[in-house]
Structure 1
Amino acid sequence: MELLQTPNIEIIGVAVAIVAIGAGAAYLYFSKKSRGCLDPENFRDFKLVKRTQISHNVARFQFALPTPTSVLGLPIGQHISCRGKDSVGEEVIKPYTPTTLDSDVGYFELVIKMYPQGRMSHHFREMRVGDYLSVKGPKGRFQYRPGQVRAFGMLAGGSGITPMFQVTRAILENPKDNTKVHLIYANVTFEDILLKEELDNLAANFPGRFNIYYVLNQPPEVWNGGVGFVSKEMIQAYCPAPTADIQVLRCGPPPMNKAMGAHLDDLGYMKEMQFQF
């Protein structure tokens, strides 16, 4: 009788093992899928744990995620919606792009330029450590996979640098991604340049892969960058030429986006080669 029962015991043991493996695989899959802390449908609150004033109207805000190993779960080049209250107590919602990636675990950061009349600027201006920010996401049409283009040209103005910085970091910090990045970054004054130290460090650490050209409308007396507005000549000199394996991204104030679109059209960049955040 024992000989007749042994195969059944072995079959049951194999079946249990298969179930266990399947359950383990399912757990790993769903735990991986649930690692992100964002909810695309509902706002979630994140605690401000550090605020660093960078200039008179720019600050870096660091928000804690639920655990030290949590990630925000934001795809490269996409953004989040932030909810706050303006100076009269009315609700306001505005999109922002974190400067951190999912490789930065346990927290995310926003670099915010606060304008005098900005409704959401008022909310950030009043935020103190210990306060909470309501966030929903991810949002955005941009999708990136390593190596999808040979090179990116980037045209950024003011706070439009944040999605460019995020994409650039993701590319350069991936040892398997050989994409090159050519960035033109425009501002009014030298003091308006956001993330300059971080950008300069990337240029120094990744020579030949990341190039940046600063343009100022009101430059200081000693200045070796561009002067005025971003021109077609600047794009020709500092961005990759229009070919099927490149893409030019742009993000800035509406007048700049419109002007850059016209420049790119005139220079022969097809619509599929362009993307506006």
Structure 2
Amino acid sequence: MDFLQGRSVETMVAVAVAVVAVAVGAALLLCRSKRPKGCLDPENFRKFKLVEKTQISHNVAKFRFALPTPTSVLGLPIGQHISCRGQDATGEEVIKPYTPTTLDSDLGNFQLVIKMYPQGRMSHHFREMKVGDYMSVKGPKGRFKYQVGQVRAFGMLAGGSGITPMFQVARAILENPNDKTKVHLVYANVTPEDILLKEELDSLAEEYPDRFKIFYVLNQPPEVWNGGVGFVSQDMIKTHCPAPAEDIQILRCGPPPMNKAMAAHLEELGYTKEMQFQF
């Protein structure tokens, strides 16, 4: 009789464990089903409506595009980009990659900060865009994949509009309370007016002083200027970026001449190819 009672208790315990397992599994499935699905398609272009266009300077503007619902997310992994399709001044199709300055935590919309060049083919399309127009977008694209804690610190070397992927990565790191990665950014431009996202970058530096450092470099600085002057040098990299180590990485994004120069500087300073990534 004691044996039967023992077996009965074991059966009840097994049933209870099974019930708990089923409940946990159902809860996980429910949570997953509640996660917003990304709006991007890596194979096909999808159209998104321009809902706001803000001119920042004579050749820079912010473009905010609406997602299907107020709780929709774009679905873009940190450090990756999208392809935008438009028409140049002759009416020919042009496709160019851009990195949004928003994250998936920004629900219902995504934003692009675009510098429009006089002869730029895609620049023409953005200049002509009006609120209510649609942009064809495909993605995500890119080789960069970020995971929390993959490095102790990032060094970032950016030039001009190459700041957008850096800003996206930095924001994602700094706004995650579980991410302790440090970010050191060197950002080069010609004049103060060319500095994109300066207000946002300065806000990050002020809000996260122990984790985010930024050093501006200008070719044509104003009379009163406490940043770097000229081109980004080896000394600037040594002073403002983490030293070569297995647990750091240097990210590069800028005009081709700058990327080439930075690669040469980094090699001479002892940064291996594994310690570098170019967007």
What TM-score, normalized to structure 1? 0.91
Letter in 2 for 1:75: P
Q: Which residue is equivalent to 1:156?
A: 158
Q: Which residue is equivalent to 1:29?
A: 32
Give aligned pairs, total: 262
Q: Which residue is equivalent to 1:83?
A: 85
Mapped to 1, the partners of 2:267 and 2:31 lie a distance apart of: 47
Letter in 2 for 1:181: V
Mapped to 1, the partners of 2:62 and 2:110 lie a distance apart of: 10
Q: Paired residue for 1:45, among 23, 27, 47?
A: 47
Q: Which residue is equivalent to 1:69?
A: 71
Q: Which residue is equivalent to 1:165?
A: 167
Mapped to 2, the partners of 1:110 and 1:74 lie a distance apart of: 13
Letter in 1 for 2:32: Y
SS at match of 1:82: strand
Task: State percent identity of aligned pairs.
Answer: 80
Instruction: Give the deviation of 1:26 after TM superposition.
Output: 4.8
Letter in 2 for 1:224: N
Instruction: Give the deviation of 1:25 after TM superposition.
Output: 5.3
Mapped to 1, the partners of 2:84 and 2:255 lie a distance apart of: 19
> Map of 1:176-187 to 2, 5 A cutoff?
176-187=178-189
Letter in 1 for 2:67: L
SS at match of 1:275: strand
Q: Which residue is equivalent to 1:146?
A: 148
Deviation digits for residues 103-134 of structure 1, max 9, x if unmatched? 00000000000000000000000000000000
Q: Paired residue for 1:214, among 213, 216, 236?
A: 216
SS at match of 1:213: strand
Runs of 4+ in 1 over 3 A off after TM superposition: 18-32
> Map of 1:1-277 to 2, 5 A cutoff?
26=29, 28-29=31-32, 32=35, 35-277=37-279
Mapped to 2, the partners of 1:182 and 1:25 lie a distance apart of: 38
Mapped to 2, the partners of 1:60 and 1:143 lie a distance apart of: 26
Letter in 2 for 1:29: R
SS at match of 1:171: helix
Mapped to 2, the partners of 1:175 and 1:71 lie a distance apart of: 21
What TM-score, normalized to structure 2? 0.90
Mapped to 2, the partners of 1:181 and 1:89 lie a distance apart of: 42
Letter in 2 for 1:194: L
Instruction: Give the deviation of 1:29 after TM superposition.
Output: 3.5
SS at match of 1:185: strand
Mapped to 2, the partners of 1:51 and 1:97 lie a distance apart of: 17
Mapped to 2, the partners of 1:117 and 1:184 lie a distance apart of: 28
Could you tell me which runs of 5 or more consecutive residues in structure 1 were left unpaired when the two chains were aligned. 1-14
Instruction: Give the deviation of 1:208 after TM superposition.
Output: 1.4
Mapped to 1, the partners of 2:91 and 2:24 lie a distance apart of: 54
Q: RMSD between aligned alpha carbons? A: 1.9
Deviation digits for residues 16-38 of structure 1, max 9, x if unmatched? xx999877755653563x61000
Mapped to 2, the partners of 1:57 and 1:182 lie a distance apart of: 27
Mapped to 2, the partners of 1:28 and 1:222 lie a distance apart of: 54
SS at match of 2:180: coil
SS at match of 1:93: strand
Letter in 1 for 2:193: E
Residues 44 and 20 (structure 1), Cα distance of their counterparts in 2 relative to 1, 3 Å cut: farther
